[in-house]
Chain A
């Protein structure tokens, strides 16, 4: 009975109901997008950091990994000390630099990572294999496309320029043995990885023993924070960053998007709420006489409140799935816009769908639907029956 009356009331004003559902759908879509945006980049970046199983990162003091060109002196000694610790399972040192590749059309510049292939955690091989000897390297699609090279080809590379002699410095001939996807590099960025010793040797004696970053994998169950503090005490010239700390830094940098998401999400919710409240209030005002009659024939006040709240909730609930689908489509579009941020790692998503985001949006909408119905329904159900009936009869 309750459902029938609520449905009848909604169907009686079709245009109004359809518009309300449409309006709430757009609000729901916006709300879902903003819930996804508020946590998306954090979750996406967090999963990126944890995917390779390294819990701590050591960078030059006061810097984030690869945020500056600074390097850690005596990095090899530091790696040996780290490996000697019983809490540490593996250490992956990385040395960053530039690679210049001579082609028939000129010189192509690329980012280069010097790694120990057995423990590296900066790229995933999509084909080929890891470098096994000093004169082998892997490259990403952007670099292979720019150079026109394929797996198995050899390339002539250098680590710098000698402008006066018009030659490359640190020259080597390397063979491309693998195609890689670099986890932290931007989509358009050209990248290569080669054995750390090769890249250091190309850069000259100043690079001996230096590392730009060292990633540390701990024994399972090890307290990460206490080990982080212990390593900072042990190595005063480095900053030890745990995943939690890295995410905190990400939070600071993406604060603009978080604030935008909170503001727009709140506005969407308020707009949806106001829309439904307005419609329900008008609808209830039109039916004051009908409600008074129901009360007069003995329908309980709470039943009337329940019917009107049900109407408001029904509008919200019908609109929510439409809004969620619309939200996913718009999130995809908005994500494709933000994916063009210069320097943004390819695998970072600003809008990251999690079931919890959908449930949060749905819950908020359902709650606002209930709240939107409570006031007008309570007001109408509380009107004096006799006076209302008389006023309605007189007109």
Chain B
């Protein structure tokens, strides 16, 4: 079987016996209202009379990230069928070779390449890295956006903590006048900040999980693919909680430190 991008014209054929079977993707089946057993005419050039084939299978699109941005339909044909259709003779675009073990992959590729003319053997792993380059770029982009978002969140958190602690100027002044040490007050504020940060991040994880579910629901519908666009892993959740905790503690500590360094009477406004 071989893949063919659908620059092939498809038209429902009226009659033909003993036709070969092809597989089409489910998007094409849905858009062209095609069903199993339908006969279609395939040609390499629009408008030309081609060969007739029967739809033998409707296949679901694979969860391949490289395919999502491409909107074209896919038809799978027998290799010789497509070669005949395109006038390719016995040419192929690529073929896969299975080796007896993983250890011999490198030496097999080297031997093929030393003898090859007009083609080249690549390790499947290298091809996978090359074809996922798009997603490596998107991933780097997301990471950069994430850093900006974290910077904005950190400032926001610091502001809120500053205000929260500032609101308790009188309480802090009273505690200081009662003889409670600055250290104890700072610890209390930091503990409170940590509590708020943990509670906030747990709520945030819940919002993140819900958003991730919505993102997948939306984009799987838009691109008609089973691919999962957003995955919230345990590592991500723990990372988010840890980051939030660190930011909360630092913000609380800075705000509390500023307050305890102000004379208690000044905090009372005198």
Contact A161 B118 (CB under 8 A): yes
A91: chain B residues at CB < 8 Å are none
B207: chain A residues at CB < 8 Å are none
Contact A19 B46 (CB under 8 A): no
B47: chain A residues at CB < 8 Å are 61, 236-237
Q: How far is B9's CA from A73's CA once the two chains are assembled, in angstroms?
A: 15
Contact A252 B71 (CB under 8 A): yes
Contact A16 B148 (CB under 8 A): no
Within residues 34 to 63 of chain A, which ones have a CB less than 8 A from any CB in chain B? 60-63
Residue of B nearest to A253 (CB): B69
Instruction: From B117, B155, B159, give the contact of A166 (CB < 8 A).
Output: B117
Contact B151 A26 (CB under 8 A): yes
Within residues 214 to 245 of chain A, which ones have a CB less than 8 A from any CB in chain B? 236-237
Q: How far is B156's CA from A285's CA once the two chains are assembled, in angstroms?
A: 20
Interface of A is mostly: helix
Q: How far is B141's CA from A340's CA once the two chains are assembled, in angstroms?
A: 10
Contact B137 A23 (CB under 8 A): no
Contact A19 B141 (CB under 8 A): no
Place the interface of chain A in its size category. 35 or more
| Chain B positions 35 through 70: 1 when the CB is less than 8 Å from some CB of chain A, otherwise 0 | 000000000111100000000000000000000010
Instruction: From A22, A237, A340, give the contact of B137 (CB < 8 A).
Output: A340
Contact B46 A237 (CB under 8 A): yes
Q: How far is B140's CA from A268's CA once the two chains are assembled, in angstroms?
A: 20
Q: How far is B93's CA from A160's CA once the two chains are assembled, in angstroms?
A: 13
Contact B148 A163 (CB under 8 A): no
Contact A161 B163 (CB under 8 A): no
Contact B156 A23 (CB under 8 A): yes
A19: chain B residues at CB < 8 Å are 155, 158-159, 162
A282-B163, A334-B141 are contacts. A23–B155 as well, Cβ < 8 Å?
yes
Contact B137 A338 (CB under 8 A): yes
A60: chain B residues at CB < 8 Å are 7, 45-46
The answer, yes or no, to whether A94 is at the interface (CB within 8 Å) is no
Contact A63 B155 (CB under 8 A): no
The answer, yes or no, to whether B160 is at the interface (CB within 8 Å) is yes
Q: How far is B143's CA from A333's CA once the two chains are assembled, in angstroms?
A: 12
Contact A278 B160 (CB under 8 A): yes
A282: chain B residues at CB < 8 Å are 163, 166-167
A69: chain B residues at CB < 8 Å are 7
B148: chain A residues at CB < 8 Å are 26, 29-30, 330
B167: chain A residues at CB < 8 Å are 282
Instruction: From A68, A107, A162, A268, give the contact of B5 (CB < 8 A).
Output: A68
Residue of A nearest to B69 (CB): A253
Contact B159 A161 (CB under 8 A): no
B134: chain A residues at CB < 8 Å are 341-342
Within residues 308 to 338 of chain A, which ones have a CB less than 8 A from any CB in chain B? 330, 333-334, 337-338
| Chain B positions 109 through 147: 1 when the CB is less than 8 Å from some CB of chain A, otherwise 0 | 000000011110000000000000110010011001100
17 extra A-B contacts, CB within 8 A, seeds A70-B44, A107-B118, A274-B156: A15-B162, A30-B148, A62-B46, A63-B7, A68-B5, A68-B72, A70-B45, A163-B118, A256-B69, A264-B145, A268-B152, A271-B152, A278-B160, A330-B148, A333-B144, A334-B145, A342-B137
9 A-B pairs with least C-beta separation: A161-B118, A61-B46, A70-B7, A23-B155, A26-B152, A68-B7, A166-B117, A237-B46, A19-B159
Residues of chain A whose beta carbon lies under 8 Å from any beta carbon of chain B? 15-16, 19-20, 22-23, 26-27, 29-30, 60-63, 67-70, 73, 107, 160-163, 166, 206, 236-237, 252-253, 255-256, 264, 268, 271, 274-275, 278-279, 282, 330, 333-334, 337-338, 340-342
